[in-house]
Chains A and B, each alone.
Chain A
């Protein structure tokens, strides 16, 4: 179980005022190109995800999805609030290094080291996660079989095709057999076969009792994959529930229409 407790993230941004825009050049020379202000990219968000559940996080660009997932994955420190994981033994974990040991995090920005082969990378991970050598050997064999990587596991990653690289990325998250997966737009820009492979992977992990959190812009995919949906807008949760519940509330038959309906509602409010 992973829980977000009142998570907040503040960023600074530079705001140009109307009159300053007109005299931008002269103002810039004086070193006053705008005013700094802080804003919440993620604004007091709390939720829990249970074991064997897939949670989809939806929202337009800039809604705070990536920041939220980064905080959940302990890549970023929340300004306020905290992340808590309860592992299978019932222990509560809040320390960021310990949290990372329970999480497999994958996003479009988590590229792999080009100058290593997949096998070398997995051995390095084994050392970092402190997995004994024999167990690591076994695990790499297993992962290679599951993801069908035997053909290229010893090639340098820079030589792999897009699909192969994606599989290597997934293998990176699998090495320490985490209880929770956090995927930030994992199917973005992939062809149908590679995207399906990822969707199937998430399903199989759910069946194994793992927890999956993922963000996406593909609403059809979310509709049939997710047990629960969080729609966020400007850092706040604007809708929460199973896809069926949300569609019912909006009186529509697919998630895409429901999404439009929710967004219209918030923007008018």
Chain B
């Protein structure tokens, strides 16, 4: 990838989009002028309507009710403020005909013991007159009840209100406002990002085809990847900006609306501490940025098939609808961010944002949402890459012949996977673990953990088989030498000790949820020991090593500089565990695994190390007392300064010893 060329293309795309009037109107003019205008205008219209309704006078008539008529007319006059409408009584000979001819708006008639209000529900004016009459009669009835109770010598207040009820809302104003905002904010933001992304996405894909510049672009010395990435990044930038402008302008208009209606409706002084929303808004911005990448990729994937603007508009309509419906999720009852919903695209973002405004901060789930969004974006970008590679789509419109996957029979023998393959595989594994793994854990309990490990093991193997990869080279199948094994053992224990220190230091910063740990502990304790050791230490040692030190490192080793390959493998291994605390400890442990596997060129060394590490933690959780007797430091809740220094020193010494040993093996 040549950054300079990509930069030039990116600049061009941005400039092109910004010079397109259509996009600019959609992006700037619409949100900055139209939305505030609409909201303010609507508020003004509705208040004007209310005012005119209040000022308008309604005509009512009475039939066979001399006594009642007098009372009601008095009430209508005296209680006009409470009723809210001006109502005038007029004489009519035939009330029914007059009402049908709309000469009067409603009439009252006494039939025996019943009082009837006649009105036309289809006519707005008549319906209002009905409400006014209804209110007046209620006032009259209340007065009658009061009078009758008083005549009977009773206290009206005690009889009518036997229980004095008052609701006390302990939610802070911020919480109530947040919950109201959280219900519609996600829908609103998602829609805005979509609207911001869709026009530029059409412009750089179908628009480019329509204007005939695509072939020009193909004559330039840029790789397909650079071309797609520059387009993708340009559209994402625009989408983010559009979302930002939209949110800003809409919140401004909303604030105006809220403050003006609060001022008009009630006299209470509402103090909203807006500072409380700042962390939520900041996280929302981060999540939305990542989400904008996904939206952009999805839009581009759809629009690339279109020949022109019109077609692209048609194709993107269903996409818009799906996204908008999904973003309605927070409105549904009982929908909240859980381990399950955190992996559903669009829905997860909507729920996360809604939760943030209700001050629910669950950082572990945020991690899942962010990672899954990155994964979906990557996958979609890769699909986009495949589509852009397909000449059928680029040159001759039709898309029946887009080949997203090559047949196995077309694969070259003994090839090595590329970085794209690794990214794809990682995405597939993650999605499978998130969906199938989580589902299996819910259904099978402890067995689900085994299913998860099986997925991690099988995916790289199947992928390697499908592409006819050079398995021996890719997975580093090589018997290690004694030095390498010893080095690996040193590294493994160094990792255990250093991770212990880091974990102890970081636990106060990222508190682990005690419940999830306890649930896991209980699930484990029900199983026989050999099963636990198999599932928790042997299976991860094989599966995760095949995936990370095998496929991932094997690929990166070929394509990148050594340190890039090692660091990238370690970080991806750490992120995959999706826990903030674990990310640090596992980075340390994983670094040992990766360095050992890289230097010895043997996956068996890192498998052994992985087994040692997991076996240690299984032993700690199974036999805490025995382990505590042998190594008291391992079981302590908090570590003292001396202990930290000593453990760190031993860890560092072991790490250095391990390094010398594996380096020795590499030289030999």
List A residues at the B interface (Cβ < 8 Å). Answer: 12, 70, 73, 75-77, 97-98, 100-101, 103, 105, 107, 109-116, 120, 124-125, 127-130, 172
In chain A, what residue has the closest Cβ to B5?
A: A128
Tell me the smallest distance from the CB of A33 to a CB of chain B, in Å.
11
Report yes or no: B215 in contact with A115, Cβ–Cβ below 8 A.
Answer: no
In chain B, what residue has the closest Cβ to A106?
A: B219
Counting chain A CB atoms within 10 Å of each CB, the highest count among B4, B12, B391 belongs to B12
- How many B residues, CB 8 Å from partner? 25
Q: Out of A110, A111, A115, A127, which one reaches B7, CB within 8 Å? A: A127
Q: How far is the CA of A112 from the CA of B19 in the complex (A)?
A: 15
Report yes or no: A115 in contact with B16, Cβ–Cβ below 8 A.
Answer: yes
30 contacts between A and B (CB under 8 A): A73-B219, A75-B215, A75-B218, A75-B219, A97-B223, A98-B221, A100-B219, A103-B219, A109-B212, A109-B215, A110-B215, A111-B212, A111-B213, A111-B216, A112-B213, A112-B216, A113-B12, A113-B16, A115-B16, A115-B19, A115-B20, A116-B12, A124-B8, A127-B8, A127-B11, A128-B5, A128-B220, A130-B4, A130-B5, A172-B216
Could you say which residues of chain B place their CB within 8 Å of the CB of A73?
219
For the complex, is B222 an interface residue (Cβ under 8 Å from A)?
Answer: yes
Contact bitstring B385-411, A, C-beta under 8 A = 1, else 0: 000000100010000010000000000
Q: How far is the CA of A92 from the CA of B219 in the complex (A)?
A: 20
Contact bitstring B483-497, A, C-beta under 8 A = 1, else 0: 000000000000000
Could you say which residues of chain B place their CB within 8 Å of the CB of A125?
220
Could you say which residues of chain A place their CB within 8 Å of the CB of B215?
75, 107, 109-111
Q: How far is the CA of A125 from the CA of B5 in the complex (A)?
A: 9
Q: How far is the CA of A115 from the CA of B16 in the complex (A)?
A: 6
For chain B residues 1-29, which have a beta carbon within 8 Å of chain A? Answer: 4-5, 7-9, 11-12, 15-16, 19-20
For the complex, is B211 an interface residue (Cβ under 8 Å from A)?
Answer: yes
Contact bitstring B203-226, A, C-beta under 8 A = 1, else 0: 000000001110110111111000
Report yes or no: B213 in contact with A124, Cβ–Cβ below 8 A.
Answer: no
Q: Out of B16, B20, B221, which one reaches A97, CB within 8 Å? A: B221
Are A111 and B5 also in contact (CB < 8 A) when A73-B219, A100-B219, A116-B16 are? no
In chain A, what residue has the closest Cβ to B214?
A: A109
Are A105 and B219 also in contact (CB < 8 A) when A111-B211, A124-B11 are? yes
Could you list 9 further interchain pairs (A-B, Cβ under 8 angstroms) beyond the known A115-B16, A116-B19, A128-B221? A70-B395, A75-B219, A97-B221, A109-B212, A110-B216, A111-B212, A113-B16, A115-B19, A124-B8
Report yes or no: B221 in contact with A76, Cβ–Cβ below 8 A.
Answer: no
Could you say which residues of chain A place their CB within 8 Å of the CB of B218?
75
Could you say which residues of chain A place their CB within 8 Å of the CB of B220?
100, 125, 128
Could you say which residues of chain B place their CB within 8 Å of the CB of A107?
215
In chain B, what residue has the closest Cβ to A127?
A: B8
Tell me the smallest distance from the CB of A16 to a CB of chain B, in Å.
15
Could you say which residues of chain B place their CB within 8 Å of the CB of A105?
219
Q: How far is the CA of A97 from the CA of B219 in the complex (A)?
A: 9
Q: How far is the CA of A89 from the CA of B211 in the complex (A)?
A: 38
Tell me the smallest distance from the CB of B419 to a CB of chain A, in Å.
17
In chain A, what residue has the closest Cβ to B401?
A: A12
Number of A-B contacts (CB under 8 A): 68
In chain B, what residue has the closest Cβ to A75?
A: B218
B contact patch SS: helix
Could you say which residues of chain B place their CB within 8 Å of the CB of A12?
401
Q: How far is the CA of A98 from the CA of B221 in the complex (A)?
A: 7
In chain B, what residue has the closest Cβ to A130?
A: B4
Could you say which residues of chain B place their CB within 8 Å of the CB of A75?
215, 218-219
Report yes or no: A114 in contact with B211, Cβ–Cβ below 8 A.
Answer: yes
For chain B residues 508-537, which have a beta carbon within 8 Å of chain A? Answer: none
Tell me the smallest distance from the CB of A213 to a CB of chain B, in Å.
14
For chain B residues 178-220, which have a beta carbon within 8 Å of chain A? Answer: 211-213, 215-216, 218-220
Could you say which residues of chain B place their CB within 8 Å of the CB of A120?
15
Tell me the smallest distance from the CB of B630 to a CB of chain A, in Å.
61
Report yes or no: B221 in contact with A113, Cβ–Cβ below 8 A.
Answer: no
Tell me the smallest distance from the CB of B494 to a CB of chain A, in Å.
45
Q: How far is the CA of A112 from the CA of B219 in the complex (A)?
A: 12
Are A129 and B221 also in contact (CB < 8 A) when A12-B401, A113-B12, A124-B12 are? yes
Counting chain A CB atoms within 10 Å of each CB, the highest count among B9, B20, B213 belongs to B213
For chain B residues 62-107, which have a beta carbon within 8 Å of chain A? Answer: none
Report yes or no: B212 in contact with A116, Cβ–Cβ below 8 A.
Answer: no
Could you say which residues of chain A place their CB within 8 Å of the CB of B20?
115
Could you say which residues of chain A place their CB within 8 Å of the CB of B221?
97-98, 100-101, 128-129
Tell me the smallest distance from the CB of A156 to a CB of chain B, in Å.
8
Could you say which residues of chain A place their CB within 8 Å of the CB of B219?
73, 75, 100, 103, 105, 110
Report yes or no: A128 in contact with B395, Cβ–Cβ below 8 A.
Answer: no
Q: How far is the CA of A268 from the CA of B204 in the complex (A)?
A: 48
Report yes or no: B7 in contact with A113, Cβ–Cβ below 8 A.
Answer: no
Report yes or no: B391 in contact with A116, Cβ–Cβ below 8 A.
Answer: no
Report yes or no: A128 in contact with B9, Cβ–Cβ below 8 A.
Answer: yes
Could you say which residues of chain A place their CB within 8 Å of the CB of B391?
76-77
Q: How far is the CA of A77 from the CA of B223 in the complex (A)?
A: 13
Q: How far is the CA of A7 from the CA of B590 in the complex (A)?
A: 49
Counting chain A CB atoms within 10 Å of each CB, the highest count among B15, B211, B220, B223 belongs to B220
Q: How far is the CA of A72 from the CA of B299 in the complex (A)?
A: 33
Q: How far is the CA of A114 from the CA of B211 in the complex (A)?
A: 8
Could you say which residues of chain A place their CB within 8 Å of the CB of B4?
127, 130
Could you say which residues of chain B place their CB within 8 Å of the CB of A100?
219-221
Q: How far is the CA of A12 from the CA of B390 in the complex (A)?
A: 13
Q: How far is the CA of A67 from the CA of B16 in the complex (A)?
A: 29
Could you say which residues of chain B place their CB within 8 Å of the CB of A110?
212-213, 215-216, 219
Q: How far is the CA of A112 from the CA of B215 in the complex (A)?
A: 10
Q: How far is the CA of A128 from the CA of B11 in the complex (A)?
A: 11
Could you say which residues of chain B place their CB within 8 Å of the CB of A172?
216
Q: How far is the CA of A127 from the CA of B211 in the complex (A)?
A: 23
Could you say which residues of chain B place their CB within 8 Å of the CB of A127?
4-5, 7-8, 11
Q: How far is the CA of A172 from the CA of B220 in the complex (A)?
A: 10
Report yes or no: B395 in contact with A76, Cβ–Cβ below 8 A.
Answer: yes
Report yes or no: B8 in contact with A128, Cβ–Cβ below 8 A.
Answer: yes
Q: How far is the CA of A111 from the CA of B218 in the complex (A)?
A: 11
Tell me the smallest distance from the CB of A24 to a CB of chain B, in Å.
18
Q: How far is the CA of A248 from the CA of B213 in the complex (A)?
A: 42
Tell me the smallest distance from the CB of A158 to a CB of chain B, in Å.
9
Q: How far is the CA of A136 from the CA of B12 in the complex (A)?
A: 17
Could you say which residues of chain A place their CB within 8 Å of the CB of B223?
97
Tell me the smallest distance from the CB of A159 to a CB of chain B, in Å.
13
Q: How far is the CA of A115 from the CA of B204 in the complex (A)?
A: 13
Q: How far is the CA of A95 from the CA of B76 in the complex (A)?
A: 91
Q: How far is the CA of A115 from the CA of B623 in the complex (A)?
A: 72
Q: How far is the CA of A258 from the CA of B12 in the complex (A)?
A: 47
Could you say which residues of chain B place their CB within 8 Å of the CB of A124?
8, 11-12
Tell me the smallest distance from the CB of B597 to a CB of chain A, in Å.
32
In chain B, what residue has the closest Cβ to A184?
A: B215
Could you say which residues of chain A place their CB within 8 Å of the CB of B213?
110-113
Could you say which residues of chain B place their CB within 8 Å of the CB of A129?
221
Q: How far is the CA of A103 from the CA of B218 in the complex (A)?
A: 12
Contact bitstring B325-359, A, C-beta under 8 A = 1, else 0: 00000000000000000000000000000000000
Q: How far is the CA of A111 from the CA of B222 in the complex (A)?
A: 18
Q: How far is the CA of A116 from the CA of B16 in the complex (A)?
A: 7
Q: How far is the CA of A109 from the CA of B217 in the complex (A)?
A: 11
Q: How far is the CA of A70 from the CA of B216 in the complex (A)?
A: 11
In chain A, what residue has the closest Cβ to B17?
A: A115
Counting chain A CB atoms within 10 Å of each CB, the highest count among B7, B16, B215, B391 belongs to B215
Contact bitstring B39-53, A, C-beta under 8 A = 1, else 0: 000000000000000
Q: How far is the CA of A73 from the CA of B211 in the complex (A)?
A: 21
Tell me the smallest distance from the CB of A73 to a CB of chain B, in Å.
6
Report yes or no: A128 in contact with B401, Cβ–Cβ below 8 A.
Answer: no
Tell me the smallest distance from the CB of B57 to a CB of chain A, in Å.
60
In chain A, what residue has the closest Cβ to B208?
A: A113
Report yes or no: B222 in contact with A97, Cβ–Cβ below 8 A.
Answer: yes
Tell me the smallest distance from the CB of B523 to a CB of chain A, in Å.
49
For chain B residues 218-250, which have a beta carbon within 8 Å of chain A? Answer: 218-223
